[in-house]
Amino acid sequence: MNTPVSVEVMALAGFEWLVIDIEHTSIDLQATENLIRTIQANNIKALVRVSKNEEVIIKKVLDMGADGIIVPMVCSKEDAIQAVNHAKYPPVGKRGVGLYRASGYGTRFEEYKKWVDGELVIIVQIEHIDAVNNIDEILKVEGIDGTIIGPYDLSGSMGHPGEFEREDVKEAVAKVLDKCKEHNIPSGFHVVDTNPEQLKLKIKQGCTFLAYGIDYLFMRDAAMNGMHKIKEGLK
């Protein structure tokens, strides 16, 4: 949600990193910059799920000072190379130079350039069956730091949106996790369900990079659960 309160509450809960989602929300770029500041002020890493694998949006959020990006719909080796090119400076990538917040408004550009080479996090989102079929080639692209599976879109690309327990969907997820282990690339999953037991299951499956819940889902589930218990107690 577009509010620093959400960040501060998540910080109190003990999250290690937070993602600002500008793909599926109404959060604009000005709000994104302010949320990055708030996240980092709470000593948490700030990642941004960008709206698409596109040069300008990736360049903008990185110049704002994001610690990393999550790039949606990476379905091929070419998509992965494109994401790296947009995020890294030459000679590794093709990112243009902007002297904005990330580089101390130009005062620490050389330091920031080294940080981009060694510390910037690029996560590719595996959320289409084409990505599963091309996972070996995607994971071989230099500069990719990890993957995260988007379960809704992945199951949707297989013709069954939201049906995570289907055998073919589970097999697709397992293939990605196995390949990440084989290539020594952190394997991620977005556990949307706020039930922590679901997250524990993904740890057991070998996931090492986990997104847990969504801020408004934590609020929704707590409110609905509380109201349900109140109403049941009044019967």
Closest CA to 145 of 205, 69, 206: 69
Element (H, E) at 210: strand 209-212
β strands within 23-181, DSSP E = 45-49, 68-71, 121-126, 146-149
Residue 116, token pair as written in the block: 């981009």
> Any idea which residue has 């977005």 for tokens?
190
* Alpha-carbon gap, residue 67 to 47, rounded angstroms: 6
Q: Could you tell me which residues come within 8 angstroms of residue 174 by beta carbon, excluding any fewer than 6 positions away?
A: 205
Token pair in block for residue 53: 């694998």
Is 24 one of the annotated active-site residues of the chain? yes
- Which residues are identified as catalytic? 24
